[in-house]
Amino acid sequence: MITFELDVRRGDFRLAASAELSSTFTGVWGPSGSGKSTLLAALAGLVPPERARIVVDDEVLANTDERIVLPPHRRGIGVVFQDGRLFPHLSVRGNLVYGARAGSASIALGFDEMVELLALGPLLDRKPLELSGGERQRVALGRALLAATRLLLLDEPLSALDREMRGQILPYLSRVRERVDVPVLYVSHDLSEILQLTDQLLLMRGGETVENGSLLELVRAGHVLHGELDNVLELEVEEQDEEAGLSILRMTPSTAIAGAFVPSPLGARLHVGLRPEDVMLAREHVSAISARNQVAGSVSGLIEEGRRVLAVVDCGIELFVEVSPSAVAELDLVPGREVVCLFKANALRYLDAPLRTGSR
């Protein structure tokens, strides 16, 4: 559990943020300039607050009303910045050992376990200038993990990387999510990136925390709009048909769908994006149509947004589907209505490199 109330001024910018977060992994999302990075810096003790109260799992890190403000090195917080900020004169091993010392005796992961988790063994004797951007971020993540006794803060760790390299790092972040037993706050302006790791969001705008909760809760409350929204699915490669240019992907235990061929081994897990506007709805299965995928479900909700309506369809997992008000009337879309979601194979967008085989 993380509870905070913060009032921070940096020049003309003011951060007035408060929240109570119970999720292990929370995405901090909002437009540029909304205060996401300032929030993480304030939690880590890197910027002085005018007023602060920070409690992590009943440990008080700051309470200015009681004149308690722990310095950064005593907060047990690991931080990863956009640029990694490794010590250039130290080897990878030296950078990691520095993190372990900062974490004192109680650490989120042991050194050897962390090296195995992030596949850092071959890099231990290299210097940061000998590493690729993705390798540097993995080392920065490892150092932060070894320092994190109470909290891990990730401040847009992928923003400086190209799309291919982001795809290589995301599987490691998924491993961290599964294996590390400290709460994590993950900052990004890219909602799809966050949704590959969690659907628990803390929304920020204009230096304030707007709301926190699941993606569906924020959409229903009107805080996440159509243009910002994407369906992000985690699918397992079940069959490959390179000649036909198709990969068969397991969506739920009872449903498989077809996507454009991706050269991944059977059993690999992939994050796939599907835009709400790329999905059509029908009342029943349709014959003689080019869309390869027809997935049955039922309407669990309708969210009006100007001249658009988002239908929330439960297909074993929930899909957001854009429909027009006239389509709502013509299809008689109401909660509980059985429908079929139709979309083409090439509507699926592969967002990252394959995750490791096997279930989470």
pLDDT in tens, 296-334: 999 999 998 777 899 999 999 999 999 999 999 999 999
Task: Enumerate domains of the chain plus CATH numbers.
Answer: 2-224 (3.40.50.300), 231-350 (2.40.50.100)
- C-alpha to C-alpha distance for 183 and 149, rounded to whole angstroms: 10
- Tell whether pTM > 0.75: yes
Residue 31 buriedness (CB in 10 A; 0-12 / 13-18 / 19+): exposed
Provide mean pLDDT across the span 272-283.
95
CA distance 329 to 321: 15
Q: Does residue 183 sit in helix, strand or coil?
A: coil
**Six-digit token pair at 242?**
């390179």
Contact 140, 81 (CB under 8 A): yes
| Residue 181: alpha-carbon gap to chain centroid | 17
pLDDT for 231 beyond 80: yes
- Residues 110-128 pLDDT 10s: 788 888 888 899 999 999 9
Q: Is the pLDDT of residue 105 over 50?
A: no
Question: pLDDT by residue (tens digit) across 153-193?
Answer: 999 888 877 777 777 788 888 888 888 778 899 998 888 88
132 phi and psi angles, rounded to 5 deg? -75, 170
The reported pLDDT for the residue numbered 1 is 86
- Give SS3 for 37: helix
How many CB atoms lie under 10 A from the CB of residue 287?
A: 6
Q: So what's the pLDDT on residue 108?
A: 58
Tally Cβ neighbours within 10 Å of residue 334.
Answer: 9
Neighbouring C-beta atoms of residue 2, cutoff 10 Å: 20
**At 68, is the secondary structure helix, strand, or coil?**
strand
Cβ atoms 185, 151 nearer than 8 A? yes
Q: Which structure tokens are listed for 11?
A: 């020049």
Beta-ladder partners of 228: none
The answer to whether 317 touches 257, Cβ cutoff 8 Å, is no
CA distance 234 to 254: 15
Q: Token match 């069959």: residue?
A: 239
State residue 356's pLDDT score.
Answer: 43
